[in-house]
Copies of this chain bind each other. A is one copy, B any other.
Amino acid sequence: SRSYTVTLLPGDGIGPEVISVAKNALQLVASQEGVDFKFKEMPMGGAALDLTGVPLPEETLSAAKDSDAVLLGAIGGYKWDNNEKHLKPETGLLQIRAGLKVFANLRPATVLPQLVDASTLKKEVADGVDLMVVRELTGGIYFGKPRGFGTNENGEEIGFNTEVYATYEIDRIARVAFETARKRRGKLCSVDKANVLEASMLWRKRVTELASEYPDVELSHMYVDNAAMQLIRNPKQFDTIVTNNIFGDILSDEASMITGSIGMLASASLGESGPGLFEPIHGSAPDIAGQDKANPLATVLSAAMLLKYGLGEEKAAQRIEAAVLDTLDRGYRTGDIYSAGLKLVGCKEMGEEVLKSI
């Protein structure tokens, strides 16, 4: 039977609760599909800081590298908010992205018919939204050098960062985006600020050049400020969006809020080879941690992405996705997506209902 090692990184806040649900779901579909999972749980983020003094211990990174896929809960919390940069949970996240070289972050934002009322957008605007943000994840201003603090020519303190893209970085993320669009509705919108930034001008030039290799994909370009507007004005105009690290951070969160149910949204981060990193797009929600209130479905759907994009186990992935929809159809809702007349459940019970649906 096919056997995989999966590194689990529960992290902080609600992370452990939602990871536990997703692990059960993986285990159940595994037995059904004749797949064998070895799970290895490792500390990361604030949990790792408290335990080992660093947000990404070497053992965690090497376990992740040695596995077939990595499933992350969430990281961060008030407790570590004022830490120095190298001791922030977020730094651990950036380190594992860089360490696993997962340069392509896929973030689907889909409005499920069952949850269309959760959106703050009018029904006719939100209904049927189904877009994918392909975000560059290991380059740009997040990692660019030089960076730091210094003084300018007048002796004043400055803080600075470098937004930088090399052609190979643009090409590889663009290829992932063209391939993604090809498997979807064949429309790709590249978002940049090429009317101001040189890094964006190079981005636009390379994406435009690569388009000739994908004649079946319809490419358009949009400035980031306009994209931020268009996502609100008419999100249905988008199929696949490709953009740099910082614009992707902003736009993918905006896109996810359009669905109104970020407790439902998964993400996959992939490299050229090696294990992918899969995580819900929501945060660690320290205010509700340990209260059995979290929505585990984003992590369950991240596990489905892990099966599909990380291991090529399409059938198992579909089983999980179908089970999530079935659980919603049967009326179960955690607090974040609850509306009158439905069945309000906690994180654990939602997990049990998903298992029943599987």
Q: Contact residues of A with B, CB < 8 Å?
A: 85, 88, 90, 94, 120-122, 125, 141-142, 144, 147-149, 152, 154, 156-168, 193, 195-203, 224-226, 228-234, 246-247, 249-254, 256-258, 262
| Given A90-B195, A233-B257: A249 in contact with B262 (beta carbons within 8 A) | no
Out of B161, B230, B249, name the residue touching A225 (CB < 8 Å).
B249
Assess A147 versus B249: contact at CB under 8 Å? Given A254-B229, A257-B232.
Answer: no
Taken together, the copies of this chain in the complex come to: 2
Interface contact B228-A159, CB-CB below 8 Å: no
A151, chain B: closest CB distance, angstroms: 9
By beta carbon, the residue of chain B nearest A76 is B195
Query: Interface centre among A152, A163, A231, by most B CB within 10 Å?
Result: A163
Bound: A252/B164 CA distance, A: 25
Partner of A199, one of B94, B159, B164: B159
For A144, the chain B residues whose CB sits under 8 A away are 160
Smallest Cβ-Cβ distance to A204: which chain B residue: B159
Inter-chain CA distance A195–B161, complex, in Å, is 13
Chain B nearest CB, measured from A249 CB (Å): 5
Contact of A160 with B162 at beta-carbon distance under 8 Å, contacts A196-B94, A225-B250, A249-B225 already known: yes
Q: Report the bound CA distance from A42 to B150 in whole Å.
A: 41
A119 → B minimal CB distance (Å): 8
Q: Show 27 residue pairs from A and B whose CB-CB distance is below 8 angstroms, ordered by the A residue.
A: A85-B198, A88-B195, A120-B122, A120-B233, A120-B234, A121-B232, A141-B141, A141-B197, A144-B160, A148-B198, A154-B166, A156-B168, A157-B202, A159-B199, A159-B201, A163-B163, A193-B246, A224-B250, A225-B249, A225-B252, A225-B253, A226-B253, A228-B228, A228-B253, A229-B262, A232-B232, A247-B250
Task: Return the contact of A147 from the options B147, B198, B258 (Cβ within 8 A).
Answer: B198
Contact B157 A166 (CB under 8 A): yes
Closest to A260 in B: B233
- Given that A120-B122, A122-B120, A159-B202 are contacting pairs, would A258 and B246 also be in contact in the complex, using a CB cutoff of 8 Å? no
- Central interface residue in A144, A228, A249, by most chain B CB within 10 Å: A228
